[in-house]
A and B are shown apart, each in its own frame.
Chain A
């Protein structure tokens, strides 16, 4: 009821209303197909029942607590493609990698979802909440940089080619789920006076870009070589 009360005010005020919903893969709805059907149903409800202006999705894995597992990427991509093909609705998705900042795994997880969301027709990518979004200060602008740059490199590619890259990329990070690196806090990733990323993080970023380029996503235009760093 609290939600309806707030919506009642927002609709009258003319606010932009984002309705968020995160279906749980492996929960009451079941497997990939079932959760994708439920995701479509609840997305449509956001617009038809709750006056949403855009919808923020976030299929999450019941065991791993991430939006980047193979199954959760499939749910999000199939639901988005289905709605995208049949409506003009504005669709978004949110990002919860397992690994923490300043690790290649975190950046590869983020890139995988950015590729999947972009190629399945979503309009907005929101994130990224590294370390599953539950550890204080374990999130930085560098993960959003990867989210955006991987999306920019994916936009316009053939979907079959994107699928091919994802089928090589996902096993790389899924193999590390039980040993995922915790990563570093913001204070260890940036000079907190100048708010510039450390040389270490820029090098990790470039390594992730090189891995993605090797897999077929050309990230070479976003290499950080030559960027000035203060520390």
Chain B
């Protein structure tokens, strides 16, 4: 269940439209680096080279606080409009609170349940198997997707990208793009069926 967030998509659009105009180069080269450095110094964040996963609770909480303040102090940039949206801390935290705490992916006997794990829980994460956007040839697409769907440890799927459709490059902004996308969906459905898991989430 996902409650309506304090800021809907149209609210966000309106805020972008009314946001402060900022050149993209200033955002990238000045505002972002300067603000991050300021928050890093404020919270004295230092990550040791041999610390891959943090164990220090104070550091963990400081990184969260620095990230939250970074979003609130800096805002979010829209490249198309060249404008910056501002958001309050209350809006961010309320939006986080109203985000779903559970999801069900897939259908029928092939569903998987998506719950918060917290720390290194003994419950393994959901395994979403797939090429994650890698280019796949038209003739091998279905077989490659089947190779993921048939793995017992895989709980849900993610697609690759079909490079051609009917022998033509699946270029964006051409009619081949949507034909290739539809072909990907058909092939992925067939791959799930051949693997005996027709309800796997994609």
**Interface bin, chain B:** 35 or more
Q: How many inter-chain contacts with C-beta < 8 Å in the A-B complex?
A: 320
Quick check: A117 and B125 within 8 Å, CB to CB? yes
CB distance from A114 to the nearest CB of B (A): 8
Quick check: B53 and A44 within 8 Å, CB to CB? no
Contact A133 B132, CB 8 Å, known A81-B54, A154-B120, A155-B124: yes
List, in ascending order, chain B residues with CB within 8 A of A33's CB. 40, 45-47
Quick check: A83 and B64 within 8 Å, CB to CB? yes
Is B144 on the interface with A (CB-CB < 8 A)? yes
Query: Number of residues in A with C-beta < 8 Å to the partner?
Result: 101
Contact A78 B36, CB 8 Å, known A45-B71, A148-B151: no
List, in ascending order, chain B residues with CB within 8 A of A48's CB. 5-7, 71, 87, 91-92, 94-96
Quick check: A44 and B96 within 8 Å, CB to CB? yes
Quick check: A141 and B150 within 8 Å, CB to CB? yes
Quick check: A116 and B135 within 8 Å, CB to CB? no
Query: What 10 A-B pairs come out closest when comparing CB atoms?
Result: A40-B67, A48-B95, A148-B153, A141-B147, A156-B122, A144-B129, A148-B127, A82-B64, A82-B63, A41-B71
Quick check: B28 and A195 within 8 Å, CB to CB? no
B interface residue numbers (CB < 8 A to A): 2, 5-10, 12-13, 16, 28-29, 32-33, 36-37, 39-40, 45-47, 49-55, 57, 59-61, 63-64, 66-68, 70-71, 74, 76, 78, 80-81, 85, 87, 91-92, 94-96, 99-101, 103, 105, 114-137, 140, 143-144, 146-151, 153-154, 156, 158, 160, 163, 194
List, in ascending order, chain B residues with CB within 8 A of A125's CB. 125-128
Contact A186 B52, CB 8 Å, known A39-B67, A152-B153: no
User: What are 29 contact pairs spanning A and B, CB under 8 A?
Assistant: A1-B78, A4-B9, A29-B33, A30-B33, A37-B40, A47-B99, A48-B92, A49-B7, A49-B76, A84-B117, A85-B119, A88-B99, A90-B100, A95-B132, A116-B52, A123-B116, A123-B117, A130-B134, A139-B136, A141-B154, A151-B125, A151-B127, A155-B120, A156-B122, A187-B140, A190-B143, A192-B140, A195-B147, A195-B194
Is A220 on the interface with B (CB-CB < 8 A)? no
CB distance from B148 to the nearest CB of A (A): 4
Chain A: CB-nearest residue to B49: A70
List, in ascending order, chain B residues with CB within 8 A of A86's CB. 61, 64
Complex Cα spacing A136 to B10, Å: 39
Contact A49 B154, CB 8 Å, known A82-B63, A186-B147: no
CB distance from B149 to the nearest CB of A (A): 8
Complex Cα spacing A163 to B54, Å: 9
Quick check: B136 and A137 within 8 Å, CB to CB? yes
Is A54 on the interface with B (CB-CB < 8 A)? yes
B114 partner, pick from A54, A151, A157, A186, beta carbons under 8 A: A54
Complex Cα spacing A53 to B96, Å: 10
CB distance from B70 to the nearest CB of A (A): 4
List, in ascending order, chain B residues with CB within 8 A of A118's CB. 120, 124-125
Contact A41 B47, CB 8 Å, known A151-B125, A162-B53, A186-B143: no
Complex Cα spacing A135 to B94, Å: 42
